[in-house]
Amino acid sequence: MSLPIHASGIEKINYYGLRVFSGLVLFFLIVPILVIMPLSFNAEPFFTFTEGMLKLEPEAYSLRWYRAILESDSWILSIKNSFIIGIFATIVAVSLGTLAAVGLSSRYMPFKGVVMGLLISPMIVPVIISATSMYFFFSKVHLAQTYIGLIMAHAVLGIPFVIITVTATLVGFDTNLYKASLSLGASPTQTFFRVTFPLVRPGIISGALFAFATSFDEVVVVLFVAGTDQRTIPREMWSGMREQLSPTILAVATLLIVMSIALLLTIEVLRRRGERIRGVVD
C-alpha cells in the first residue's frame, strides 16, 4: 500500500518509521542465518571467518565440507531417512488433514470449535510433551524405533498445518457448486475430486509443504521415537554438535536454508494463485 499524496506529516513519519523498524527487525532475524552460508565454504575447519576469507582470497574458500557430506555414510543415511519419512508423513497428513478440514467446513458439524481445538493441539502443545506421549504410546504398540512409528509421529505434527491452510481455502468456497454437482447426478466422491478438490488444491499443496517442512525439521520427536536406523538430518546435526564438531554441519544447514527459501517462495506463489482463483485479487 503506497502513501497517499494528501498524507499529513505524522502519517508520513508513521509510514516510513514502520518500514524502517520492520527492516531492522528483518535484518536482526536474517543476518545470523546468512552468516552460516559463507562459513560453509571455509577451506579451514573453523567456525569463524579466516583472514583469507575476509580478504576474498579464492584459496580460502572450498567445497570440501559439501564433498564430506557425500563421502559420509551417516549423512547419506540421514538425508535418505529425512526424505522418506518426510514424504510419507506428508501424504498421511494431507490425506487426514484434508478430510478433517472438509468436515469442519460443513455447517452440520457438531462441536466444531472443540474438534478444531483438538485437531490443532499438536501445534500448540510443547513438542517435548508430544514427544514423550508418543514415545510411551508407540512403545506400548511396538511402533517405537520403527519407520512406521516415526512417520505417524511426524504426520501428527503436520496435520494441524494442513487443516488450517485447507480450512482457510474453504472459507471462500461456494457451496452452490457442490449442490449443483450433486443435483446433476454426480456422487459425493466424484463431486469432491472434480469440484471441491481443484478449488482447494492451493491450500492442500501449501499445507503439504508446511507438513513436509515440519517433518524435515523435527528433532525432539526423533530423539524420543526413532532408533539408530532412523537417524534424520536434524538428529545427525544434533549428534555432530555434541560429539564431533565439524563445518560439515554448516554445509548441511546451508542446504536446508536454500530448501526452506524454495518452499517459502512456492507457498507464496500458491497463496497468490489461490487468491486469484477466489477473486480476491486481480
pLDDT confidence of residue 144: 85
Nearest C-alpha neighbor of 89 from the set 184, 183, 221: 221
Q: Does residue 68 fall inside a structural domain? A: no
Instruction: Judge if 159 and 47 occupy the same domain.
Output: no
Percentage of the chain lying above the pLDDT 90 cut: 18
* Residue range(s) defining the domain that contains residue 24: 9-60
Is the pLDDT reported for residue 107 higher than 50?
yes
237 falls within a domain = yes
pLDDT at 151: 93
Tens digit of pLDDT for each residue in 199-238?
788 888 888 988 998 898 888 999 899 887 888 998 888 8
Is residue 30 located within the same domain as residue 114?
no
Q: How many independent structural domains does the chain possess?
A: 2
131 and 264, same domain (yes or no)? yes
Are residues 30 and 148 located together in one domain of the fold? no
- 274 has a pLDDT exceeding 80: no
Q: What is the pLDDT of residues 57-75, one digit of tens each?
A: 888 888 888 998 888 888 9
The answer on 220 and 191 residing in a single domain is: yes
Same domain, 53 and 79: no
